[in-house]
Amino acid sequence: MIIPKPVSLVLHDGIFTLDADLKIVCDTSRQEIAFISDLLSQRLAAIAGLTAETIAPSERVLVRGNSPTVTLELGKLETSPNPEAYRLRVERHSVTVRANEPTGLFYAIQSLCKLLMSNDGGRTFVIPCLDIRDFPVFEWRGMLLDCCRHFISVDYIKHCIDCMAELKMNRLHLHLTDNEGWRLEIGKYPELTRTGAYAEDPGFYTQADIREIIRYAQERFVTVVPEVDVPGHALAALKSYPWLCCTGAPERNSGHQKDLFCAGNEQVVQFLLDVLDEVIELFPSTYIHLGGDEAPKERWKECEVCQEAIRKHGLGNEEGLQGYLLRTLSEHAARRGKKTIGWDEALECGIHQDMAIQWWRYRNKGEQPAIHALEQNHHVIASPNSLTYFSFPTEPDHHFKPERTSDLQKAYSAKYVPDGLTEEQRRRVLGAECCIWTEYLTEKEIDRMLFPRVLACAELMWSYPEQRDFSEFLTRVRLEQHRLERDGVVFGPYFSVME
């Protein structure tokens, strides 16, 4: 009935019937709980056409007879200390939701709303009597949105946050800088958005826009994680300030962009530190993503400034220079109470010990990047590209060969934790993240690429079952599709028609 599937769901005899006397019982003196209560009331109105009054626990004595109630309460759960855990108990005349923290209450009402059913054409809504005990396996349950190749509006980002919240996903990774566009307003360097935001598809986020996105996400217990890509994927920044690159005259080339930030130039490093300071000030997230991927070193090999930095600091080669740059930024972030993330190529250049690694090169390197990261005691976020890149289509086309396609069943087969790890290494797998890259996608096309495959990812990130029954999952997907389409979500194909 529910995606992601709960840890434990036990059905009992009887049903809970919603009617016009329904009351939500909770302590609204806490802002988070007041928001959760309001959101539940809005969802019940949208689904069942009922207006539920919220009352304080002290007013429960005023509830008439067997009038239905939904009680939201905080208290220690015996089953799990996890701050996202919850227990949902449905009896004939009452629903009781209990959680360690407000996050758990929020996730419980996502489950509650998915249990609503009507057998009389929507005149009456009921919930079967049951007991759910639930908590997530992974703390990091994310989605990446590439806002650079094509600009994504604030409204659509909010739509994605709503979808994530319903699926109990909690990390929104915004890819904000790339060759095609610099999307984040930086006060100290206004040309980044005056010029860089209009490199190709125009648009950028003001700092006020970002604060609004963060506010909206925080209400729904989603953390927004920014990515500023270093040293590559930087052409929009280099076009804005040409002195940031080795040649002073950046040019577009085919393949991976050869012009990088000039890592040997102390002024360039200071620029990146200044940008990082504004990003840290703007985003509450503990983690800041620094990229570190797909950075060919031809320009650095030809740059006397970079070569002098390699000699001066004893870095050995250009990979050592990239490691030096990423360590400098990571150490600066650490002094501000932040941690950093890099794509798995960053492992090859000697990075800061506390940098987490986002494993993505599954198609070419399998699980080895994740294993190497864990052996070096880094935390890992799993994004194996063949299984979690939902910008890959279900059918091959002129952009994507058959090996760069995926469907719902393939997404549900994904493995985020390599075999043969120690228990300590397993604990260092923070979770997983699906990715939407927008080289070939506009905002209007994203929904049908995400859905239904993101449902598989959401389930694995929450429960990560070792034994997976795809047929049973498919039944729940079809129910979820009906609910989500009612909310305006557009679904794409489930499977390849070629199979």
Separation in Å, CA 296 to CA 292, 293, 355, 357? 11, 9, 21, 19
Alpha carbon distance 114, 124 (integer Å): 15
- Told to judge if 27 belongs to the known catalytic residues of this protein, a careful annotator would answer no
Task: Provide the residue ranges of all domains of the chain, joining segments of one domain with +.
Answer: 8-134, 140-486
pLDDT per residue as tens digits for the range 367-415: 999 999 999 999 999 999 999 999 999 998 888 988 899 999 999 999 9
Q: If one looks up domain 8-134 in CATH, what number appears? A: 3.30.379.10
Q: Which position among 173, 233, 352, 378 bears the catalytic label?
A: 233
Which is the catalytic residue, given 53, 59, 251, 294? 294
- Taking the C-alpha atoms of residue 135 and residue 495, their distance in angstroms, rounded to an integer, is 30
- In the predicted model, what is the mean pLDDT of the chain? 95
pLDDT of residue 499 exceeding 70: no
* Residue of 45 and 79 predicted with greater confidence: 45
Decide if 12 is catalytic: no
Q: What is the pLDDT of residue 65?
A: 74
Instruction: Examine residue 452 and say whether the peptide bond preceding it is cis (omega within 30 degrees of 0).
Output: yes
Mean pLDDT of 476-496: 94
At 288, which amino acid appears? I
> Do 257 and 233 touch, CB atoms closer than 8 A?
yes
Q: What is the pLDDT of residues 435-466, one digit of tens each?
A: 999 999 999 999 999 999 999 999 999 999 98
Reported as a pLDDT band with limits 50, 70 and 90, residue 164 is: very high
Rounded CA gap, 241 and 248, in Å? 9
pLDDT mean over 301-317? 98
User: Any catalytic annotation for residue 178?
Assistant: yes
Give pLDDT, residue 89: 98
Q: pLDDT tens-digit profile of 416-442?
A: 999 999 999 999 999 999 999 999 999
DSSP assignment of 175-208 equals E-EETTEE-B--TT-THHHHTGGGSSS---B-HH
Range 272-278 average pLDDT: 98
Question: Would the pLDDT of 259 be above 70?
Answer: yes
- Among 108-117, 136-145, 400-409, name the one with the lowest average pLDDT: 400-409
* β-pair type (171-175, 223-230): parallel
Q: Which residues contact 391 (CB under 8 A, 6 or more apart)?
A: 146, 435, 436, 437, 438, 439, 440, 441, 449
Half-sphere exposure of 179 (CA within 13 A, CB side): 18
Task: Report the distance separating Cα 282 and Cα 230, nearest Å.
Answer: 19
The single-letter DSSP state of residue 389 is: B
Which top CATH class is 140-486?
Answer: alpha beta
Residue 497, pLDDT above cutoff 80? no
Strand pairing category for 8-17 and 126-134:
antiparallel
Q: 380-382 and 356-359 as β-strands: parallel, antiparallel, unpaired?
A: parallel
Please enumerate in sequence order all residues whose Cβ is within 8 A of that of 22, keeping only pairs 6 or more positions apart, or say none: 44, 50, 52, 53, 67, 68, 69, 70
Please say whether the dihedral angle defined by the alpha carbons of residues 178, 180, 182 and 183, taken in this order, is positive or negative: negative
pLDDT in tens, 213-252: 999 999 999 999 999 999 999 999 999 999 999 999 999 9
Distance CA 496, CA 489 (A): 21
Amino acid at 30: R
Of 255, 206, 262, 254, the residue nearest 234 (C-alpha): 262
Residues listed for the chain: 499
| 344 secondary structure, DSSP code | G
Select which of 134, 178, 433, 480 is catalytic.
178
Q: What is the four-CA torsion angle of 187, 329, 366, 375, rounded to 10 degrees?
A: -150
Q: Which of 342, 424, 323, 333 is nearest to 381 (CA)?
A: 342
Report the run of H or E that residue 277 belongs to, with start and end.
helix 266-282
**Residue in 97, 106, 107, 108 with CA at minimum distance from that of residue 75:** 97
Q: H helices within 12-153, ranges in order? A: 31-48, 102-115
> Does residue 142 contact residue 170 with C-beta atoms inside 8 Å?
yes
pLDDT tens string 316-343: 999 999 999 999 999 999 999 999 999 9
Helix spans in 296-414 (H): 298-302, 304-313, 318-335, 362-365, 368-375, 385-388, 408-412
